[in-house]
Amino acid sequence: MGSPVLTLIAQRVALGILLLFAVSVLIFAGTQILPGDVAQSILGQDATPEAVANLRQELGLNDPAYARYFHWLGGVLTGDLGSTLTTRQEIAKTLMPRLWNTLFLAFWAAIVAVPLAIVLGLLAVRYRNGWVDKLISGLALASTSLPEFFIGYLLILSFAVTQQWLPAISTVYDGMPFFDKLKAIVLPATALVLVVLAHMMRMTRAAILNVMQSAYIETAELKGLSASAVIRKHALPNAVAPIINVVMLNLAFLIVGVVVVEVIFVYPGMGQYLVDHVVKRDVPVVQAVGLVFAAIYIGLNIVADVAAILANPRLRHPK
């Protein structure tokens, strides 16, 4: 592996860290400029001015914004996300089970969505401009046009209310049998698959078709290789880099974009946790969840960039 590859990877990682720092500033600033008084919201409208003033002092709300930011950032860097304002529990302890639940849901959605998207993309290329291609593209367009909440409610109506095959509320808990967990997440996972499948399939199809315009593909066809062999042996390996980018971006969405789906199915993940504490105006929790989502999204984008660099033979063998 040559030095240009290491240099590019180091640049991507450094840029990701810098971007995460910038996002942390935006998250903190965004929660500070919200209207209203946090202390007043916690104590209620009947609280006395003295009680509000004491709570503001206790929470450090009287300190300058920059001092509160660096205090928060210092805690994050040492693994201390602070405490919730409502229950005074450590955020890290209450957040981790929710994060694992979200990762569990996203993992099984990805297990289904990624291979299916690549297979459908390959089929669309193999039978391009035919009825198979048009059918797959039409279904993908229809899936893209439907928002997550509509897909979620449609699945609940069809499989939980009408047929009663699956639970409408996706409850999971520690110690729950594995197959019961899988049954509980079928509907939210299906909703996520339908949301990301179309985009991955269309981008896979576009990446392979772009490679199919190359001269070496024409040479392979002139040698008498079948269309399937040309796609499998020549087009797909050279379209790996853009496909990896698309897959990673959609995996990031599966984790970060679960908020709506988790709320619809009352799934105990990060999205539901965030919404619950937004309602309570629990600012430290909102900041922590926002930063975790940002770190996951940026981290998966870095992985996508690194994978694309490693998949590029011109960078691996600069000579």
User: Residue 40's pLDDT is what?
Assistant: 61
- Note whether residue 30 is domain-resident: no
Q: Which of 139-143, 201-205, 240-244, 300-304 has the lowest mean pLDDT?
A: 240-244
Q: Residues 58-67: what's their mean pLDDT?
A: 73
Bigger pLDDT: 204 vs 26: 26
Select the more confidently predicted residue: 209 or 103.
Answer: 103
Question: Mean pLDDT, to the nearest integer, of 292-319?
Answer: 76
* pLDDT above 60 (res 2): no
Most confident range (mean pLDDT) of 27-41, 119-133, 237-251, 287-301 is 287-301
Q: Examine residue 162 and state whether it is found in any structural domain, yes or no.
A: yes
Task: Say how far apart CA 267 and CA 271 lie, in whole Å.
Answer: 8
| pLDDT at residue 19 in the model | 93
DSSP state of 168: S
- Prediction pTM value: 0.80
List, in order, residues 6 or more apart from 159 with CB less than 8 Å away. Answer: 165, 166, 186, 187
Tell me the average pLDDT across 47-67: 73
How far is residue 243's CA from residue 38's CA, in Å, rounded to a whole number? Answer: 45
How many domains is the chain partitioned into structurally?
1
13 domain residue, yes or no: no
Residue 73 forms part of a structural domain: no
Is residue 63 predicted with pLDDT exceeding 90? no
pLDDT tens digits, 161-188: 888 888 888 888 888 888 888 888 889 9
Residue 285 within a domain = no
Is residue 18 very low, low, confident or very high in pLDDT (cuts 50, 70, 90)? very high
pLDDT band at 15 (very low <50, low <70, confident <90, very high): very high
Evaluate whether 209 touches 217 at the Cβ level (below 8 Å): no
What pLDDT is attached to residue 1? Answer: 45
pLDDT(318) > 80: no
Chain centroid to CA 261: 12
- 160-184: b (≥16 Cβ within 10 Å) or e: beeeeebbbebebeeeeeeeebeeb
Write the CATH number for 231.
1.10.3720.10
Mean pLDDT of the chain: 81
Whether 66 is in a domain gets the answer: no
Task: Write down the pLDDT at residue 33.
Answer: 75
Residues of the chain with pLDDT > 70: what percent?
87
Between the alpha carbon of residue 238 and those of residues 52, 102, 301, 311, the distances in Å are 63, 33, 20, 9
Mean pLDDT lowest for which of 122-136, 199-213, 220-234?
220-234
Q: Domain limits at 191? A: 99-275
The residues, ordered by sequence, that sit 6+ positions from 187 with a Cβ below 8 Å of its Cβ are: 152, 155, 156, 159, 160, 166, 167, 168, 170, 265
Is pLDDT at 144 greater than 80 in this prediction? Answer: no
Tell me which range, 18-27, 71-80, 175-184, 307-316, is most confidently predicted by mean pLDDT: 18-27
The set of residues, in sequence order, having a beta carbon less than 8 Å from that of 308 and lying 6+ positions away, is 241, 242, 244, 245
DSSP reduced 3-state for 243? helix
Least Cα distance to 195 among 238, 132, 253 occurs for 253
Within-domain flag for 185: yes
Question: Has residue 90 been placed in a domain?
Answer: no
CA-closest candidate to residue 185, choices 271, 104, 100: 104
